[in-house]
């Protein structure tokens, strides 16, 4: 089940587990500390009981001075014993502390330890160096009242060894880091497996257009989520295949139904023209049919570009193709306005069907010639920007309102008058998108331009 968890969920679980473990470790340290305190109190009470018993068992015949000397001897002996005679050899950390306070307020017993004050159970700090302690620590004990202003203290140090505490903290930190690393490795493994599966899906979608949406994803994935995704993806590919095939059939029917009647009508007009020479109505009608035929061809060209599988296309040198089109066609079309053509082209290669590329450039150059100012220059350029090849055509004609500039690529939209069918730039956008690129129009100072961007073909791919 963990293999199906999302990456962020896995990281959160690992982080929460690490926090829980750290909390558990700190809680255990607290419990150990509390148990150590309770144990130290029990031991100090036992020490106090033993010392009280020995003091009570002193012979009654002893004078006050002798009794005081005996108590001081017992206190000193126990304080000395608690530190292994001052050698601090024992590893026991809960060392015993003993003090005796005489009637005059003077204190004797464990060296460097001040009288804590209070009666009954007491809790006080023990300075570093006291009773073999390397660092300041804490002790608990009991204060017994012997009467006459005399008291003795029996206490035990209960704080853990600082080295043990540090090791416990390091252990908690190490386990937390281990949990985070383990969660990260688990997430990395999951991410790698998911990435491989997603890469296969993406590769399938990249090939879908070229294969006519006929390929399908494998649905025997181990994870139910990927199996369900593959099922839905296959259903989408199947519907897309049916739609594309339906568009192809529609394209064939439309091509026949649109162009057939136009050709028949023109033949009838030719027959009528032979019988009635110089009839202006027949010539006018034939001109209108020519316009209709041109519009049908352009519309069919857009449909053909949309449903075509020729996404692999040819490796085309944009600069060479534009130069050939200018020399073969547009240098003559520009004579009426006395136009000049300038081309600056970097070496480049794009992958697109060559006939579609030519028609696309013809449409752009045709618009540039149509709207160019007489005796001006139409500037063409081919540049490479990273992995994109940019083909731009600019003229010195009128610009377009910024609010309508994107609409010029919509089928049927035209700003060129009654003789314009509004399909030329729509065809440009269709071919550009089908080749993996895009097209945009822009106003410039005293002019207008259109730029096509297409993916560059790498040298090894074009070889």
Residue-wise pLDDT tens digits, 88-104: 776 656 688 888 888 88
Query: Roughly what angle, to the nearest 10 degrees, separates helices 424-434 and 280-307?
Result: 20
- β-strand pairing of 107-109 with 314-316: unpaired
- Cα torsion angle, 350, 353, 357, 360, sign: negative
Q: What is the mean pLDDT of each run of 10 residues along the chain (463 residues)?
A: 54 71 71 75 87 87 85 86 74 77 87 84 86 82 86 82 64 74 73 76 76 75 72 82 69 60 67 70 70 64 59 79 86 81 91 84 88 90 92 87 82 59 76 87 88 84 45
Q: What three-state secondary structure class fits 425?
A: helix
Task: Please give the Cα distance from 1 to 127 (Å, whole number).
Answer: 55
Q: What is the pLDDT of residue 204?
A: 82
State the pTM of this model: 0.45
Q: What is the pLDDT of residue 116?
A: 87
Task: Please give the Cα distance from 236 to 369 (Å, whole number).
Answer: 44
Place of tokens 């005293």: 446
Sequence-ordered alpha helix ranges (H) in 308-336: 318-325, 331-333
- Listed in sequence order, the residues at least 6 apart from 448 whose beta carbon sits closer than 8 Å to its beta carbon are 371, 394, 395, 397, 398, 399, 400, 441, 442
Give 231-252 as a DSSP string.
HHHHHHHHHHHHHHHHHHHHHH
Q: What is the pLDDT of residue 47?
A: 86
Cβ(454)–Cβ(439) under 8 Å? Answer: no
Give 382-404 as a DSSP string.
EEEETTEEEEEEEESS----GGG
| Category of 213 on φ-ψ map: left (φ > 0), alpha (ψ -120 to 50) or beta | left
Cβ(127)–Cβ(110) under 8 Å? Answer: no
Q: What stretch of H or E contains 367?
A: helix 354-371
Q: What is the pLDDT of residue 146?
A: 84
Is 72 exposed, middle or buried (CB count within 10 Å of its CB: 0-12, 13-18, 19+)?
Answer: middle
Cα 84 to Cα 92, 126, 168, distances in angstroms = 10, 18, 28
Tokens, residue 172: 């908690």
């Amino acid at each position: 089940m963990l293999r199906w968890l999302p990456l962020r969920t896995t990281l959160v679980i690992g982080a929460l587990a690490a926090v829980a473990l750290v909390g558990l470790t700190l809680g255990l340290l607290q419990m150990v500390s509390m148990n150590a305190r309770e144990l130290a109190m029990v031991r100090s009470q036992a020490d106090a009981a033993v010392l009280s018993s020995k003091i009570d068992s002193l012979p009654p015949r002893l004078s006050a001075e002798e009794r005081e000397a005996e108590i001081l001897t017992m206190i000193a002996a126990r304080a000395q014993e608690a530190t292994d005679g001052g050698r601090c050899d024992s590893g026991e950390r809960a060392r015993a502390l003993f003090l005796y306070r005489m009637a005059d307020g003077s204190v004797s017993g464990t060296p460097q330890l001040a009288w804590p004050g209070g009666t009954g159970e007491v809790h006080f700090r023990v300075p570093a160096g006291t009773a073999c302690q390397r660092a300041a620590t804490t002790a608990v004990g009991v204060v017994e009242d012997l009467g006459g202003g005399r008291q003795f203290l029996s206490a035990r140090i209960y704080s853990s060894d600082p080295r043990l505490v540090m090791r416990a903290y390091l252990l908690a930190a190490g386990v937390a880091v281990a949990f985070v690393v383990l969660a990260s490795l688990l997430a990395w493994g999951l991410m790698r497996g998911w990435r491989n599966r997603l890469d296969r899906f993406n590769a399938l979608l990249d090939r879908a257009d070229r294969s006519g949406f006929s390929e399908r994803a494998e649905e025997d994935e181990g994870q139910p989520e990927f199996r369900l995704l593959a099922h839905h993806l296959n259903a989408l590919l199947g519907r897309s295949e049916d739609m594309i095939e339906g568009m192809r059939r529609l394209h064939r029917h439309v091509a026949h139904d649109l162009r057939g009647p136009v050709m028949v009508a023109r033949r009838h007009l030719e027959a009528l023209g032979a019988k009635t020479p110089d009839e202006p109505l027949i010539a006018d009608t034939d001109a209108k049919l020519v316009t209709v035929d041109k519009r049908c061809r352009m519309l069919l060209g857009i449909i053909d570009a949309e449903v075509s599988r020729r996404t692999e296309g040819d490796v085309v040198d944009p600069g060479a193709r534009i130069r050939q089109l200018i020399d073969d066609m547009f240098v003559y079309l520009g004579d009426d306005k006395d136009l000049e053509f300038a081309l600056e082209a970097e070496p480049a290669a794009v992958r697109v069907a060559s006939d579609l590329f030519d028609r696309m450039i013809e449409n752009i150059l045709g618009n540039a010639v149509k709207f160019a100012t007489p005796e001006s220059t139409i500037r063409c350029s081919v540049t490479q920007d990273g992995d994109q090849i940019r083909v731009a055509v600019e003229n010195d004609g009128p610009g377009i309102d910024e609010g309508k500039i994107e609409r010029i690529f919509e089928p049927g939209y035209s700003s060129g008058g009654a003789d314009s069918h509004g399909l030329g730039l729509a065809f440009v956008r269709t071919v550009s998108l089908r080749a993996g690129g895009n097209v945009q129009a822009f106003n410039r100072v005293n002019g207008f331009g259109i730029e096509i961007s297409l993916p560059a073909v790498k040298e090894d791919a074009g070889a």
